[in-house]
Amino acid sequence: MLKKEAVITGLGVLTSLGSHPRVFWENLLKGESGIDFVSRFDPSPFHCKIASEIKDLSYEADLTAKERKLDLSAKYALWAANQAINDSGLDLNALDRSRCGVVLGSARGAASLLEASHSLFLSGGAAKVKPSTSPFTTLSSMSAAVARRFGFQGINLTVSATCASSSHALGAALEKIHLGKADLILAGGSEACLTPFHFAQFGNAGILSTNKSPASACKPFDLRRDGMVIAEGAGVVVVEEKEHALRRGARSYCRLAGFGSSCDAQGITSIPEDGLGIQKAMALALEDAGLEKGDVDYINAHGTATRLNDRIETTAIKNFFGDSARNIPTSSTKSMTGHLLGASGGIQAVICSLVCMHGKIPPTINYQTPDPECDLDYVPNHPRDLSVNGLISNALGFGGLNTCLAFDKKVTF
């Protein structure tokens, strides 16, 4: 059976860099940083005092009374999904909603609501726990909330695969489209775990930047990088079967062309020195897409600014692409957005779609001191005009989870 083709026809974002794709894109190209001092709680007990925090609360106005009871992660997902629907120009009344689904990704799920409910339990006992706590703190609460909003009756799930969560969500959506089992799927991810407990977890693991200058703190691939910066937000795209999109006269940003995943099956946080698992994910994504290595014009890197990750991702790219690796622009947009954990793949899918449409590559900001072990073209500090036809986006997670998504302009209209 011939695979159906999938195109991206709508984009939605909520990040510290902007709560609309246009604003978000403009700030990326300006090299703006969305990282600032934490204001949601007192960060003074922690070594790290910075994060990429959602401070624009306009998303609240879009919520119903019932939706306001949801965790922040579900609220963020609703905002981004609603934007994606509006951007796609979909007429919801013209859809067969039994063939429309929602697949989202999140590493931590309803972290804020779960922590708050547990605190009430500890301080006041069982009587203080609200009956709504159970359904509103499941991982699937965010995808269920989005499905209720739009009446989508097809596939519905929230994938949790650490920082590769929403890449897996996009991969699952792509497979459904390929198999002809859905007309369109809202896919991406949401993350909202900017809480003292999670700050302590990541900080005590020694992976957060302790830089006291927020805007210049996140330095992917730079010799002086000292760790990642936690971010929150959501990125959701409309993944639509090509013929379905053509029949309704939709505009396509790009083809969501392929997905690849692998597991290192090694340590929880260790990565093979040759990046073999990352190479495998990239190879599978290109194979699924029907693309060759030479078709890749840009790589949106995982690039968290941790010493180990950046070095081994660089090694994996060099080992996989060989001599051509240094000629492929490879940037880490986390230098501006921070690390959205399980939502990273969704945000990067939005970015890759905009790269395809506009022919511009966002930079890796804060890149000042080259690292001899990280020696690719990281598009330092300034955007670049480049007509991009094929590109890939990497997302890696604890447990040795490696994912890669491939995009291209073979199908645009």
Which residue, chain included where needed, has tokens 């929230």? 158
Q: Ramachandran region of residue 399, left (φ > 0), alpha (ψ -120 to 50) or beta?
A: left
User: Does 163 qualify as catalytic in the annotation?
Assistant: yes
**Active-site option among 193, 254, 339, 374:** 339
| CATH number of the domain located at residue range(s) 6-405 in this protein | 3.40.47.10
Q: Could you read off the pLDDT tens digit of each residue along the chain, which spans 413 residues? A: 689 999 999 999 999 999 999 999 999 999 999 999 999 999 999 999 999 999 999 999 989 999 999 999 999 999 999 999 999 999 999 999 999 999 999 999 888 888 888 888 888 888 888 888 888 888 899 999 999 999 999 999 999 999 999 999 999 999 999 999 999 999 999 999 999 999 999 999 999 999 999 999 999 999 999 999 999 999 999 999 999 999 999 999 999 999 999 999 887 777 889 999 999 999 999 999 999 999 999 999 999 999 999 999 999 999 999 999 999 999 999 999 999 999 999 999 999 999 999 999 999 999 999 999 999 999 999 999 999 999 999 999 988 899 999 999 976 66
For the chain, the domains span 6-405
Structure tokens at 392: 């890939």
Angstrom distance (rounded) from CA 40 to CA 68: 18
Please report, as a single letter, which amino acid is at residue 114: L
Known active-site residue 302 = yes
Reduce the secondary structure of 104-140 to three states and give it as a string: EECCCCCHHHHHHHHHHHHHHCHHHCCCCHHHHCCCC
Do residues 232 and 52 touch, judged by C-beta distance below 8 A?
Answer: yes
Q: How far apart are CA 279 and CA 213, in angstroms?
A: 34
- DSSP type of residue 287: H
CA distances from 218 to 228, 273, 381 (A): 6, 23, 12
Amino acid (one-letter) located at 63: L
Per-residue pLDDT tens digits for 14-37:
999 999 999 999 999 999 999 999
Cβ atoms 36, 198 nearer than 8 A: no
Catalytic choice (48, 198, 302, 356): 302
CA distance 298 to 386: 9
The pLDDT tens digits for 59-90 are 999 899 999 999 999 999 999 999 999 999 99
CA of 115: how far to CAs of 51, 55, 75, 107, 194, in Å?
19, 20, 17, 15, 11
Which residues, including other chains, have CB under 8 Å from residue 204's CB and lie 6 or more apart?
Answer: none
Crossing angle for the helix pair 196-204 and 111-124, to the nearest 10 degrees: 110
Of the candidates 357, 345, 326, which has an alpha carbon nearest to the alpha carbon of residue 401? 345
Task: Given the residues 163, 218, 356, 374, select the one marked as catalytic.
Answer: 163
